[in-house]
Amino acid sequence: MATDSIQEQFLELIKENNGIIHKVCHLYCHSTQNRQDLFQEILLQLWKAFPKFRNESKISTWMYRIALNTAISDFRKQQRRIGTVDGALPESAGLYDHDLIEQKERLVVLQRAVNHLSDIEKALVMLYLEEKDYHEMEEVLGIKQANLRVKMSRIKEKLRRQVEQM
């Protein structure tokens, strides 16, 4: 019966926080199939780690840490294989609205620039865009806050240069 309770707690946790997993999957995978595979792998790793969660950090911090570590490991494995990357964003309604088209073009350029970042830089950008504070970023990434601030400043400049070149 205790297992049922743990399973129910885990399923509720995933239901409440699955956006974290989806964001990580979209950041590190470009095809639907790869995103689905990574999503499943992250779920597996979360399930394995769940009994050891001690509430020493926020549940979202714990989930980001596991999701990012899993994605980074998977990303490194993928980099060793030869393949193609489709950097295009999915199409949606409103294609004839000039402002929407312009916004989509800017997002595609930004996405391509982010794709050129290292795996740690991508993770930092995602957490920054999620408006996580540097304390939580430190917990997730295991990098000191002062170093994170320097890295973030350099990443912003790097992205600015890359976007200007595109």
Mean pLDDT, 10 residues at a time, the chain of 166 residues: 76 92 88 91 93 85 90 71 44 50 74 87 89 90 93 92 84
Angle at 123 between CA 20 and CA 31, to 5 degrees: 70
pLDDT at site 92: 43
Eight-class DSSP state of 81: S
pLDDT of 57 reads 81
| pLDDT of res. 82 | 43
pLDDT of residue 99: 63
**Which pLDDT score, from 0 to 100, does residue 130 have?**
85
CATH number for the domain running over 1-84: 1.10.1740.10
**What dotted CATH number matches 94-166?**
1.10.10.10
Tell the burial category of 50 from Cβ atoms under 10 Å away from its Cβ (0-12, 13-18, 19+). Answer: middle
Predicted confidence at residue 3, as pLDDT, reads 60
- Asked if residues 28 and 71 have their Cβ atoms less than 8 Å apart, the reply is yes
Domain regions of the chain by residue span: 1-84, 94-166
pTM (2 d.p.): 0.60
Report d(CA 57, CA 140) in Å as an integer.
Answer: 10
